Chain A
């Protein structure tokens, strides 16, 4: 490194001495000490590398019916309800069946797909979440429902249906739901 510094110094002196009087010889291939430049660039580089976060948050799109809406009549047998209790337990039932506890979310995925494929597009999945249930669990269930979509489309295609009409909705958790789940 010291050699580089000397070379630079020498070059500078020569230039200063010759300026004005003589036309300087055009130097082909001169050397500049780049160490300070590299120092600073590395410093800045590490700063920017450490401060940037590459992970951008994702989104999960939801649609809810507008407030002033005529209630849609739904047949009980076509309704598939998923309920999340205050303590975070997830229950499911179709129609008027007794609610059953979901052991793991993977099971739920399978059940939802089967329901939808069996009912051939007429199944309506609703999610009801109790007020005190943690939001994280609600999102996990919604995620399962989102994951189910491509599988449902696949299943429907195998049955000769190329269109997917109904998706899932969220609806309020009522006092009746509380009673029903507490009775279990």
Chain B
């Protein structure tokens, strides 16, 4: 009983379920999206993190002092980059650093590029004063020399920050 199908011109499809699902997904992705922070937008390097096996510990999202060690993509030099995560801490740390007359620091610097251990120690000390609860995390490129890590650990030890984290990526 086959009938010749008429070609329908302009048919209407009910799009409500489609819209439902897309809105659901859209809201999900909108809420989970994280945007670059002030300090991340100021940096001129990307970090190739070392890999480690799966673990349940994740990087805390607040009360954190990040010490990044990266290779500048333009100048190809390595330095320490110190930044804090909490917004009030960022402002307070910038104020403290301006008080110390750190070169190239102003009120809006969120990430301090540091080239010598003396300043690194001072910056760590200020960060400890600004937020004593903050944890320290070292986020370093896997290609750099261990010397940079060793010096950072030493400076942290001097300022009594004896517990810290290495930031890694999950091994695939």
- Nearest-CB residue, chain B, relative to A138: B146
Q: Is A14 an interface residue (CB 8 A)?
A: no
Q: Which of A15-23, A36-44, A89-97, A114-122 contacts B (4 or more CB under 8 A)?
A: A36-44
Q: Is B144 an interface residue (CB 8 A)?
A: yes
- Nearest-CB residue, chain A, relative to B35: A51
Q: Is A30 an interface residue (CB 8 A)?
A: no
Question: Shortest Cβ distance from A127 into chain B, in angstroms?
Answer: 10
Indicate if the CB atoms of A139 and B168 lie closer than 8 Å: yes
Which of chain A's residues have a CB closer than 8 A to the CB of B140? 135
Q: Is B59 an interface residue (CB 8 A)?
A: yes
Indicate if the CB atoms of A3 and B11 lie closer than 8 Å: yes
Q: Select which of B10, B29, B149, B150 is within 8 A of A48 by beta carbon.
A: B29
Q: How many A-B residue pairs have CB under 8 A?
A: 161
- Contact string against A for B residues 130-172, beta-carbon threshold 8 Å, 1 for contact and 0 otherwise: 0000000101111111111110010011101011111111100
Indicate if the CB atoms of B12 and A136 lie closer than 8 Å: no
Q: How many residues of B contact A (CB 8 A)?
A: 55
Q: Which of A140-148, A159-167, A176-184 contacts B (4 or more CB under 8 A)?
A: A140-148
Indicate if the CB atoms of B158 and A67 lie closer than 8 Å: yes
Indicate if the CB atoms of B59 and A58 lie closer than 8 Å: yes
Which of chain A's residues have a CB closer than 8 A to the CB of B167? 57-60
Distance between Cα atoms of A134 and B147 in the complex (Å): 9
Question: Shortest Cβ distance from B145 into chain A, in angstroms?
Answer: 5
Residues 17-33 of B contacting A (Cβ, < 8 Å): 18-19, 22-23, 25-26, 29-30, 32-33
Q: List 13 A-B contacts (CB under 8 A).
A: A4-B10, A34-B19, A44-B30, A49-B29, A55-B170, A57-B49, A58-B52, A58-B58, A59-B166, A61-B57, A62-B163, A132-B146, A134-B146
- Lowest 8 A-B CB distances belong to which pairs? A136-B142, A48-B29, A3-B10, A59-B165, A139-B50, A131-B147, A34-B15, A2-B10
